[in-house]
Amino acid sequence: MGQGRMIGRIAAALAALVCLAAAPADSPVNVPEPEGLYAGAPHGYTPQTLKGAAVVDAASVAALMAGPDKPVLIDVAAPDRKPSNFPAGRLWLPVHPSIPGAVWMPEAGAEPLAPEREAVFYDRVAELTGGDRAKPVVVFCHVECWGSWNAAKRLVRKGYTGIRWFPEGVEGWQDKHETANLRVDPAWKAAGEPQAGR
């Protein structure tokens, strides 16, 4: 094989590696965990792991819910936005289907998240867990959503040891289980509106 051809192959391989490292959310192969929170596009391929948390599927969530130590269910999905072409004068009544009993804190997984919003998130989770950082907490949003990964990671970094990340989200749950329409958690809502554009 000629030297030019070998250099070309090496250059192509290096370029492919750079592309994979530069855009983890767009890569369909083994997305690595970022060192900190993920600040890229909120929707896209996510890692298969989250250090310090257990990754669970819908059957595991259902088993937890049926067990003696009921988990805290935290939905961080963004609310639906009114379409720009929505007819004027028509009533906009979006619904948010989720896991029954979940607490909906829209966009609590945004990055960056304003410090005062982050403080409300931590305070609310502390209240929901009764201050027990080992209590099972299931964090989710939609499939291929970095928001739930970030929110779960925030709790792991805060010292919570019972975190379960449910990456299949609402879509994975509703395949075999009933959903309930949720309203935004009153404490989260009272602290301010979700960040626009996420």
pLDDT in tens, 102-132: 999 999 999 999 999 999 999 999 999 999 9
pLDDT at 3 over 60: no
Q: Please give the structure tokens belonging to residue 42.
A: 């909120």
pLDDT at 144 over 60: yes
- Phi, psi angle pair for 53, to nearest 5°: -130, 155
- Record the tokens describing residue 4, joined without a space: 């030019």
Min mean pLDDT across 13-27, 75-89, 98-112 is at 13-27
Strand ranges for 48-118 from DSSP E? 54-55, 72-75, 97-98, 103-104
pLDDT band at 197 (very low <50, low <70, confident <90, very high): very low
Instruction: Calculate what percentage of the chain has a pLDDT beyond 70.
Output: 81
Please tell me whether residue 75 adopts helix, strand or coil conformation: strand
Instruction: Give the CA distances from residue 50 to residues 8, 55, 70, 72, 89, in Å, rounded to whole numbers and listed in that order.
Output: 37, 7, 22, 18, 45
Distance CA 23, CA 26 (A): 6
pLDDT digits (tens, 9 = 90+) for 36-61: 999 999 989 999 999 999 999 999 99
Q: How far apart are CA 20 and CA 31, in angstroms?
A: 8
Confidence of residue 157 (pLDDT cuts 50, 70, 90): very high
Q: What is the pLDDT of residue 83?
A: 72
Q: DSSP letters of 119-149? A: HHHHHHHHHHTTT-TTS-EEEE-STTBHHHH
Query: Tell me, what's the pLDDT at 2?
Result: 53
Of the candidates 135, 124, 155, 132, the residue with the CA atom closest to the CA atom of residue 72: 135
| Residue 59 CB partners (closer than 8 Å, separation 6+) | none
Q: Tell me how far the alpha carbon of residue 71 is from its chain's centroid.
A: 17
